[in-house]
């Protein structure tokens, strides 16, 4: 299928896009509006407290970029503004919630209008809070799929994965369907519900241990919890950088899979952070 045929598929279609404020998202929005001005609507979902804030964020973080100068030149500034108002609909919501956080009447009306969903929202931070990463990169796609099931006119659901889902594999990699819980690590199964329960448990224990957890302590604990996914691939990179061989692991007695990360967080990391913060307060 050539580019002209692809552009033709979007004529008179309503498209829901998540992640439009990201690097790829901006490019996608501009490209669709430029090559297929006959698109019916672009619904852009983004985090914002209300509709007015969502519109302002779209204008400043997406439409206001130099990327759209070609369209400004084509239509002239007044014509460009009218074109954007006609085609682009900001939606205040979040992929981490059912129905993207939209109220039931808005979600129901939207589901009847949508022909295409492009889910490009994700976090690519290597040291992200574990609860945030789970919500965005695991629950987000699930919520997109659940919403897609409610769209009677849906022609396409496209999920844009991060650049890191293939791990360290090289060369031409074809798409492969995974079963729920299956991962790139052979023999490793990831139970998302169990991981969510672990997050809740760590937060509860942290709150109990500190008589009401502070945001900074919770943030630190969630980032440390994310390190539990440290695997043999990362360990191989460490060996390479440190010019170690596998026998050196015995000397250092370091096997990340044998570490009880939950115990470490509750009994070592959190108490250490508390002790440090109290010492800082005393010295202030």
- pLDDT at position 252 is 44
- pLDDT at position 239 is 47
Which positions ≥6 away from 265 have C-beta within 8 Å?
Answer: 202, 206, 221, 224, 225
Q: How confident is the model at residue 235 (pLDDT cuts 50, 70, 90)?
A: very low
- pLDDT at position 161 is 82
SS3 of residue 55 by DSSP = helix
- pLDDT at position 266 is 61
What is the tens place of the pLDDT at every residue in 182-194? Answer: 877 777 788 889 8
Q: Can you tell me the mean pLDDT for 214-219?
A: 82
Q: Can you tell me the mean pLDDT for 17-21?
A: 95
Q: Can you tell me the mean pLDDT for 126-150?
A: 92
Q: Can you tell me the mean pLDDT for 248-252?
A: 44
Compute the distance between CA of residue 122 and CA of residue 138 in angstroms, rounded to an integer: 9
pLDDT of 206 over the 80 cut: yes
Give the range among 47-51, 61-65, 221-225 with minimum mean pLDDT.
221-225
Question: Which of 181, 95, 90 lies closest to 132, judged by CA?
Answer: 95
3-state helix, strand, coil in the chain (%, to 5): 60, 10, 30
What is the tens place of the pLDDT at every residue in 84-118? Answer: 999 999 999 999 999 999 999 999 999 999 999 99
Q: Can you tell me the mean pLDDT for 67-79?
A: 96
pLDDT of 157 over the 80 cut: yes
pLDDT of 32 over the 70 cut: yes
The runs of H, that is alpha helices, within the chain are 3-9, 23-35, 51-58, 69-87, 104-113, 130-134, 140-148, 192-210, 215-226, 232-242, 248-252, 261-264, 270-283
User: What are the φ/ψ torsions at residue 183 (nearest 5 degrees)?
Assistant: -130, 175
């Amino acid at each position: 299928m050539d580019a002209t045929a692809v552009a033709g598929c979007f004529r008179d279609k309503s498209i829901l896009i998540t992640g439009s404020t990201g690097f790829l998202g901006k490019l996608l929005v501009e490209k669709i509006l430029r090559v297929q001005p006959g698109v019916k609507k672009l619904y852009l979902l983004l985090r914002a407290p209300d509709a007015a804030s969502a519109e302002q964020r779209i204008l400043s973080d997406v439409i206001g970029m130099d990327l759209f100068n070609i369209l400004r030149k084509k239509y002239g500034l007044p014509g460009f503004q009218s074109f954007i108002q006609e085609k682009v609909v900001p939606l205040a919501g979040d992929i981490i919630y059912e129905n993207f956080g939209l109220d039931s009447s808005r979600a129901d009306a939207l589901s009847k209008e949508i022909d295409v969903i492009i889910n490009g929202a994700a976090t690519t931070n290597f040291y992200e809070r574990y609860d945030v990463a789970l919500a965005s990169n695991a629950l987000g796609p699930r919520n997109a799929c659940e919403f897609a099931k409610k769209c009677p006119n849906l022609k396409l659901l496209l999920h844009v994965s991060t650049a890191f889902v293939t791990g360290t594999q090289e060369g031409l990699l074809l798409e492969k369907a995974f079963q729920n819980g299956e991962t790139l690590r052979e023999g490793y199964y990831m139970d998302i519900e169990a991981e969510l329960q672990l997050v809740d448990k760590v937060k509860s224990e942290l709150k109990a241990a500190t008589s009401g957890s502070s945001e900074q302590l919770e943030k630190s604990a969630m980032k440390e919890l994310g390190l539990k996914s440290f695997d043999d691939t990362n360990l191989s990179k460490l060996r390479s950088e440190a010019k170690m061989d596998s026998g050196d692991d015995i000397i250092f007695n370091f096997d990340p899979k044998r570490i009880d990360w939950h115990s470490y967080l509750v009994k070592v990391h959190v108490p250490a952070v508390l002790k440090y913060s109290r010492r800082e307060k005393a010295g202030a």
